[in-house]
Copies of this chain bind each other. A is one copy, B any other.
Amino acid sequence: MGNTDYDVYTSARVESGVHHRVAVPPPQPFFKSLKYSLKETFFPDDPLRQFKNQPPSRKLVLGMQYVFPFLEWAPRYSFQFFKADLIAGITIASLAIPQGISYAKLANLPPILGLYSSFVPPLIYAMMGSSRDLAVGTVAVASLLTASMLGKEVNPNENPKLYLHLAFTATFFAGVLQASLGLLRLGFIVDFLSHATIVGFMAGAATVVCLQQLKGILGLEHFTPSTDLVSVLRSVFTQTHEWRWESGVLGCCFLFFLLVTKYFSKKRPKFFWISAMAPLTSVILGSLLVYLTHAEKHGVQVIGQLKKGLNPPSAGDLVFVSPYMMTAIKTGMITGIIALAEGIAVGRSFAMFKNYHIDGNKEMIAIGMMNIAGSCTSCYLTTGPFSRSAVNFNAGCKTAVSNIVMAMAVMITLLFLTPLFHYTPLVVLSSIIIAAMLGLIDYDAAIHLWKVDKFDFIVCMGAYVGVVFGSVEIGLVIAVVISLLRVLLFVARPRTFVLGNIPNSMIYRNVDQYPNANSIPGIIILEIDAPIYFANASYLRERISRWIDEEEDKLKSSGETSLQYIILDMGAVGNIDTSGISMLEEVKKTTDRRGLKLVVANPGAEVMKKLNKSNFIENIGQEWIHLTVGEAVAACNFRLHSHKHNPAKDESEPWNNV
């Protein structure tokens, strides 16, 4: 029998008879518990643990390494690492160049900005970032948002200089927001965008970006400024006579080529570099095609002249004048948060996979500094896009040096190779964007959500529909609101259920989960599955009343003994506030009036503290608070039977006799 190594006899005697006193936790000074709460809220991963018990010089070194992580891995850098990082860096550079130019055009910015943004920000990240796999670059969603939000205020065609300066200013404010969140350890805010939300939002944004590319693919001149599905389709199908078949055919061919290479690389992961090289190949092929056929004279739009040379400084171009500054701030905040959420998620995923640890808040500071520095060197918003980091990872990167290699490759391009892009048709850029966006539509994740948690699926769909049929901002607001509503609804409507006795044991579990669990005559046992807060106190009070009503109805119709005891299992009640304590007092009054006795089982530490301070324990009586449901049932049963046998017996504590 003995799988345990303690006295079975002792266990039996103890389980059935001894009444354990439920302790009020030893009181802690207010500031000590405040300090503990603050630490849990802001420093959950205790990043300063390594500083303990170290000499001051070592502390200084550790401090410098904390702020600039490259000081930690740089001394241990080997040639092996460099080989791997070189290959990875060149691979992601081949992706960075065409994607950078494409996304800059998506943002209605000069294409050269895409190259600038793949030069300075990766260098900053390599110094300050903690992730070994994150590859820095611009993202389509943020580019689209920049175009749509700034475009409302300033038309990029009529006033390109102001538009450009506003983009830099928005990037600056985005960086300031990101760094502040990191410094103030408010990183947990990003956690409030649930995975379901992000799946839906990203899929919606990707759909919207693909729809926007119809302009480039079909070679249309006039296009709706709105991003939603209905406006775009109307704009496309009312101009069928304007469609240029040349652009259309060219675009579809390149798109087909890109999708085929992507599919092939997915099936044979060893050949990941094929899909990574495909965009650059398309650019080269497209340029050649246009150059040889002089297609740019037949109306095929091309990139045109790209300035040679490195990033010009732009710190002086930042706009701090109303009303434009407010638009820039708003754009910067929204794009900054979205970019941050993606960058942190990417960093965490790869760290989890490769089993190293990154500090989310420190990463935020790195990404923030990257954007602040970028805004002063003619870059716009960058982060760590998932697709590029995945390529980096597949290519076998070892440290952030892959970002440095990519930056060097981009530098060489900026200094010498920009004339090569003169003849690149815009339709190739559109195809590159569409191919990248189709990868963002994660329908596998959506199906998984439907299977596991339908509410999460609703959240996902809500975000998707909001973005596709409204606008990106509306979709984001809907996504965040639905996420928060879910949290609030959970707190406002916690689950309660009746417990029953698992046969032949002293274990009491949910009768829905264990249909063979028996109820005890004369006793109803309820479990409350959430903290009791102002938000749910009224609901719980009414629900408890209703449970009692329903149980008494059942007993009346079946003719059994009526209820005499109600046991509340508080094991899952993590915390209670003053409204919750009022609720318990009201429940006691109600049950007293109905002739029931209220019994409390298994209150936790926090709950006992509050019950003690509010004198509820004296109100209900210490003898009615039990350590486990089993002990509570035992005590109630004893009283029930002693009343049956001896109604006049005194209601003294039965355990004095044990």
A326 partner residues in chain B, CB cutoff 8 A: none
Interface hub of A348, A456, A545, A605 (most chain B Cβ within 10 A): A605
B538 touches A348 (CB 8 A): yes
A195 partner residues in chain B, CB cutoff 8 A: 534, 578-579, 582
Q: How far is the CB of A572 from chain B (nearest CB, A)?
A: 4
B25 touches A512 (CB 8 A): yes
B23 touches A514 (CB 8 A): yes
A627 partner residues in chain B, CB cutoff 8 A: 502, 507, 509
In this complex, what residue of B is CB-closest to A49?
B549
B452 touches A536 (CB 8 A): no
Q: How far is the CB of A248 from chain B (nearest CB, A)?
A: 40
A613 at the A/B interface (Cβ < 8 Å)? yes
B510 touches A605 (CB 8 A): yes
B492 touches A191 (CB 8 A): yes
A510 partner residues in chain B, CB cutoff 8 A: 25, 604-605
Chain A positions 520-552 with a Cβ under 8 Å from a chain B Cβ: 529-531, 533-539, 542-543, 545-546, 549
B608 touches A513 (CB 8 A): yes
A556 at the A/B interface (Cβ < 8 Å)? no
Q: How far is the CA of A502 from the CA of B575 in the complex (A)?
A: 22
Q: How far is the CB of A616 from chain B (nearest CB, A)?
A: 10
> Which residue of the partner chain, among B4, B490, B538, contacts A533 with CB atoms under 8 Å?
B490
A560 at the A/B interface (Cβ < 8 Å)? no
Q: How far is the CA of A637 from the CA of B542 in the complex (A)?
A: 44
A18 partner residues in chain B, CB cutoff 8 A: 504-505
A486 partner residues in chain B, CB cutoff 8 A: 533
A641 touches B14 (CB 8 A): no
Q: How far is the CA of A530 from the CA of B581 in the complex (A)?
A: 19
Chain A positions 11-37 with a Cβ under 8 Å from a chain B Cβ: 11-18, 20, 23, 25-26, 30, 37
B538 touches A191 (CB 8 A): yes
B537 touches A586 (CB 8 A): no
B192 touches A487 (CB 8 A): no
User: Which of A39-47, A150-158, A234-242 lies at the interface with chain B?
Assistant: A39-47
A577 at the A/B interface (Cβ < 8 Å)? yes
Q: How far is the CA of A453 from the CA of B37 in the complex (A)?
A: 14
A504 partner residues in chain B, CB cutoff 8 A: 6, 10-11, 14, 18
The interface bits of chain A over 90-110 (1 if a CB of B lies within 8 angstroms of the residue's CB, else 0) are 000000000000000000000
In this complex, what residue of B is CB-closest to A575?
B490
A605 partner residues in chain B, CB cutoff 8 A: 497, 510, 512-513
A593 partner residues in chain B, CB cutoff 8 A: 355
Given A1-B13, A348-B538: A614 in contact with B44 (beta carbons within 8 A): no
In this complex, what residue of B is CB-closest to A7?
B504
A11 partner residues in chain B, CB cutoff 8 A: 12, 15-16, 504-506
A260 at the A/B interface (Cβ < 8 Å)? no
Chain A positions 584-642 with a Cβ under 8 Å from a chain B Cβ: 586, 589-590, 593, 604-606, 608, 610, 613-614, 627-628, 633-635, 637-638, 641
- Stoichiometry, as copies per complex, reads 2
Chain A positions 405-442 with a Cβ under 8 Å from a chain B Cβ: none
Q: How far is the CA of A502 from the CA of B15 in the complex (A)?
A: 12
Interface hub of A20, A530, A538 (most chain B Cβ within 10 A): A538
In this complex, what residue of B is CB-closest to A585?
B352
A169 at the A/B interface (Cβ < 8 Å)? no
A452 touches B610 (CB 8 A): yes
A56 at the A/B interface (Cβ < 8 Å)? no
A453 touches B610 (CB 8 A): yes
A3 at the A/B interface (Cβ < 8 Å)? yes
A574 partner residues in chain B, CB cutoff 8 A: 490, 494-495, 529-530, 572
A5 at the A/B interface (Cβ < 8 Å)? yes
> Which residue of the partner chain, among B493, B531, B578, B634, contacts A448 with CB atoms under 8 Å?
B578
A451 at the A/B interface (Cβ < 8 Å)? yes
In this complex, what residue of B is CB-closest to A630?
B4
Q: How far is the CB of A81 from chain B (nearest CB, A)?
A: 22
Given A14-B505, A513-B25, A606-B495: A44 in contact with B578 (beta carbons within 8 A): no
Q: How far is the CA of A413 from the CA of B323 in the complex (A)?
A: 57
The interface bits of chain A over 196-238 (1 if a CB of B lies within 8 angstroms of the residue's CB, else 0) are 1100000000000000000000000000000000000000000
A45 partner residues in chain B, CB cutoff 8 A: 542, 545-546
Q: How far is the CA of A193 from the CA of B492 in the complex (A)?
A: 12
A634 touches B3 (CB 8 A): yes
Given A44-B546, A506-B11, A608-B513: A534 in contact with B196 (beta carbons within 8 A): yes
> Which residue of the partner chain, among B37, B488, B634, B655, contacts A4 with CB atoms under 8 Å?
B634
A484 at the A/B interface (Cβ < 8 Å)? yes
The interface bits of chain A over 441-461 (1 if a CB of B lies within 8 angstroms of the residue's CB, else 0) are 000000011011111100000
A515 at the A/B interface (Cβ < 8 Å)? yes
Given A11-B15, A12-B8: A352 in contact with B586 (beta carbons within 8 A): yes
A360 at the A/B interface (Cβ < 8 Å)? yes
A69 partner residues in chain B, CB cutoff 8 A: none
Q: How far is the CA of A197 from the CA of B533 in the complex (A)?
A: 13
A269 partner residues in chain B, CB cutoff 8 A: none
Could you show 10 A-B contacts with beta carbons less than 8 Å apart? A8-B13, A9-B12, A44-B543, A191-B537, A352-B589, A453-B578, A495-B606, A502-B627, A530-B574, A571-B571
In the A-B complex, the 7 residue pairs with the smallest Cβ-Cβ separation, listed nearest first, are A194-B534, A12-B12, A529-B574, A513-B605, A572-B572, A45-B542, A25-B513
